[in-house]
Structure formats: C-alpha cells, structure tokens
Amino acid sequence: MNPTFAPLFAPLTFRSGVQLHNRLVMAPMTNFSSQPDGQVTDAEVAYYVRRSSGVGLVITACANVTANGQGFPGEIGAERDALIPSLQRLAQGIQAQGSKAVLQIFHGGRQCPPELVGGDVVSASAVPSDRPGSVVPRELSGAEVQEIVTAFGEATRRAIEAGYDGVEIHGANGYLIQQFFSPHSNRRTDRWGGDVQGRMAFPLAVVDAVQEAVRVHARRPFLVGYRFSPEEPETPGISMPDTLALLDALAAQELDYLHVSLMDYRSLPHTGDTSRPRLDTLLAHLDSRTPLIGVGSVWSADDALAVLGAGAALVALGRSLIVEPDWAQKVAGGQEAALRRELSADEQAQLVVPDPLWQAILKTPGWFPVVERA
C-alpha cells in the first residue's frame, strides 16, 4: 500500500461499540431490484456481495417502513415481520464478506409514485414537489404522523432481528423526513410544523423511536446513523443555517454518525457562507461532536483522502464502487492508478449489476461515465 492512503484503512469504533476495519463505506444507492412484495432477489444479494469484501461498512438501498411509503418500484421492504427472512439474507450476504451491514430506512412521502401506494400519496402538508408531473399529496393527520414514527421503530426492530449491525435513518433527498423539515413542504401549524425548531420535531421523534427500539431489542452493539441533505433548490427551502440548527439537535442525540448527501464533496453552498465547500462548513460546525460520512463524486484515492483530510470520519463510495467493485482492494494493494473510472454497455455480468439498475444506468445520460469500447 502507498502509505499516503493508510488513513483510509484505519479502524474505527462507533459510540455504540460497532467496530469497522477501515473508513470506506458503500453508499446507499437505489437499485430497483427487489421483488414487488419487497423481498430481496438473488441478483440484488449478489450485487451487494460483490462490493462488500473491501469496505468496512455497507449501507443498503432504502427500505420502506410502511406500505404507503414505497418510493420506487423494486424497493427493499421492511414494513412487516414477514420480510425479516428476506432482510436477513441480505445482511448475511454482506457480513460474510467481512463488512458491517446497515439497513437504510425511510418513507417516500410526496415522492411516492401513486401506483405504488394505492393513489394515497402523503406528506407533511398538501404541497406538491416542484418536479414536473408531481401530484398534490394528502396532508397527514397528527395520528398518522405518530403511526409513521412508530413504524420507524418497528422497522428498526426488524433490522435487529434480521441481524443487521445498524440502521441509517434516511432524512435526505427530499423524502418524508426531509419534507417535514423543509419550509417548502411543511406548512403545518401544529406540533409538527412552524419555525425551524418545530419542523425538526418529526425527524427528532423518528430518532427517538429508533433509539428506543435499539435499547429494547438489541442484544449486541447496534449503530444508528442519520442522512441529511444540507440544502434544497426550492423557494422557500432548507438553507445551510437551517441544517446547522438541525445538526446541533442531532448531535445532542448522540448518534453513531451523520451522513451528508452531496453530489460532489467539493460543492459550494448557495445559502449561508458560500465561500467554502458545504462539507467544510458542516464539519467545522459539528466540531467532532458526531462522526460525519463524506460523499460525492469520490472516484480516486486522492478524492477519498481529501474527504478524510477535511475532517470526515468516513468516506462513502457510490457510483465509483459500481464501476469498480474492487476499489478498496486495489488501493490497499498499491494499485490506485488502476482504478476503473468508466463502464461500457457489455460489462453488466462482469460488474454484477442487476438488470433494473443496469438499465437505469444506460438510460440516464450523465449519471455514470458510460463509454463505447472497441
């Protein structure tokens, strides 16, 4: 190994006691590959197994905690006990490769396709997304909000029973938890809305429910993380000052980690201090109170080292780990110059990618570096 990259392979022990053998994380990425009833498929398990042997932590694609929270076709299900054996298959496949397995849990809210939720699309308020073709969601009643909070706790119990090493609460990317925190989607005047403190009531209630499930049901170290998006493009939308207030509240919860959602770790904010990258601002504000996972266009070993150098405790690999399943092994073996940076349409079997995800990659220009090979 090039000693320059040794920090990527330093061990880490979380607050909960869960131990990682390095600082590399497989980022949670939707793969659209579970069965219609939420059970994982053989192709999906194989995809994770292929990428689990080098990284220290694997965070799965999001799993819905209620039947009306399904945000994609082919999504992992965690909303009923009958799915525990399915969840267990995936956890065991990941762990057999030497990595820790974390189940990402979420509710899609107003981003749920109507056909997947019986036409009943719900959110914090009856405000549609700015995306073209978005439906007007139904505002959740106070009782329904509490039911969803409870559902996050129940999904955590299922993850514990299925043998996972932790859960990640998905409060990013415009889904329901973020919808409650956002001034764009949350216009409520009850206990679940209002100013920035009021809008974080639902995210914090979810954290409480998840942590309570861990206290009651976990018999070994079990971690809890939280993913967030620092800004929104909508007006009004989440600003960096809003997010810094949320980070203060989350840091007080003594979570194992926070996980920022960024397309590029070097990106600059459009609110607050716009002169330095979002990642730097977040890390400076957290001031080591809670470990942060950095992410976003991390392709090279130098990119990963830069994320840790900024102060992140871990670095997540997303698209780069799909293109190069042996990313960690190559860097550990001093072959960082040989990391793949692109793929071609005839490499699906070689890369062990399920059909639904492969088709999405090929049909979404600019998402992945797809090249024609002679």
| Active-site pick, 175, 226, 257, 265 | 175
How many angstroms separate the CA atoms of 206 and 222, rounded?
17
Name the token pair of 368. 């992945």
Q: Are 262 and 279 in contact (CB under 8 A)?
A: yes
How many angstroms separate the CA atoms of 246 and 115, rounded?
33
Q: Tell me which residue of 175, 235, 184, 239 sits closest to 206, measured CA to CA.
A: 175
Exposed / middle / buried, residue 328 (Cβ in 10 Å: 0-12, 13-18, 19+):
buried
Q: Does 175 participate in catalysis according to the annotation?
A: yes
Amino acid at 11: P
Q: Tell me which residue of 105, 191, 103 sits closest to 148, measured CA to CA.
A: 105
> Within 13 A of 187's CA, how many CA atoms are on the CB side?
11
Local structure of 374: helix, strand or coil? coil
CB within 8 Å of 102: residues ≥ 6 apart: 57, 58, 59, 60, 164, 165, 166, 167, 168, 223, 225
How many angstroms separate the CA atoms of 160 and 84, rounded?
9
How many angstroms separate the CA atoms of 137 and 126, rounded?
5
Amino acid at 165: D
Name the token pair of 186. 């949350």
Backbone angles phi, psi at 228, to 5 degrees: -145, 155
Local structure of 293: helix, strand or coil? strand
User: Which residues participate in catalysis according to the annotation?
Assistant: 175
